[in-house]
Amino acid sequence: MGANDRSIKGIIKDYILITIGILMTAASIVYVFNPNRLAAGGVQGIALALGSFTGIPTGILMIAINALLLLAAFLLMGKGFGEKTLYSSLGLSVAVYFLESRLYHGPLTDDLLLGSIFGSALMGVGVGIILNRGASIGGTSLIGTIINRYLHFEQVGSIVAVDCLVTLFSLFTFGVEIGLYQLLSVYLCGAVINKVIDGFSSRKEVMVIANEKRSIMEFIMKDLNRGATLIKGRGAYTGIDNEIIYSILTRREFIRLKLFIEQHDKGAFLSVNTVTEVSGEGFSRRG
């Protein structure tokens, strides 16, 4: 298979996953957030608040707001923010309008706490999938990017600040109690997004100081089929030269290695960190 074929397959995979993320995010908006007047920030929050005054469907308002933001981004920043963002932001607005107008049969729940938790989880997974494929749902992320470019404020901080302003606007629109649930939704949604992004490619970074280095190295390379590196070191107290085994493993592989070390070298020193992004030989690359 040529490089061009792999590139096409990667693009198709990206757009399939982005579409899944769009549908999950749209479902959370239509079936959980909007019926309960909850807003997890962003364009959805702005559209929900404006819709309460104008009576215009949220999907229509989201299309209009996102179109204006995308136009502003094109004019102020050029085409650098990408075609995927154009697809995902407008695709989300269209999906919300379609679900609202064609497939809406009532909310999944009327309980505000359950709605905040379940809706944030559903939206967080959907947005996490979209972001993990190098796209964005537009909205406040575009506003944050524009603020960062021209006012030189930190980008993530700008996005959070805009989301908080949106939630504050909704608080005055729908009342304090719903506003507090909205703040909870903003926090939970952000936490789930980060967890989804990290969870897709997180691995265990393992460092081992052991007497049975050779057997542990062979277990990693032959039984786990992973690479390993020997790093030269020296004990600060003993002054003795030693070698540290360094390897990157999946969670399941780490458990197998840990059990092997417990059986063959009980005195071994084992240090483990979670790394959130691994790419290279032996691990799948994005795309």
Q: Is the pTM of this model over 0.85?
A: no
Q: What φ, ψ does residue 189 adopt, rounded to 5°? A: -60, -45
Fold for the domain defined by 202-275: Alpha-Beta Plaits (3.30.70)
List, for residues 100-147, the tens digit of each pLDDT value. Answer: 888 888 888 999 999 999 999 999 899 888 877 877 776 666 676 667
Structure tokens at 205: 């970074």
Q: Is the dihedral of CA 81, 83, 196, 221 positive or negative?
A: negative
E strand residue ranges, the chain = 203-209, 229-234, 241-249, 269-275
List, for residues 200-245, the tens digit of each pLDDT value. Answer: 667 889 999 988 889 999 999 999 989 999 999 888 888 888 889 9
Q: Check residue 286 and report its DSSP letter.
A: P
List, for residues 162-208, the tens digit of each pLDDT value. Answer: 777 777 777 777 788 888 888 888 888 878 887 887 666 678 899 99
Give the HSE-up count for residue 192: Cα atoms under 13 Å, Cβ half-sphere. Answer: 23
Inter-residue contact 192 to 120 (CB < 8 Å):
yes
Whether residue 287 has pLDDT greater than 50: no
Structure tokens at 152: 């030189």
Each domain of the chain, given as residue ranges in start order, spans 3-200, 202-275
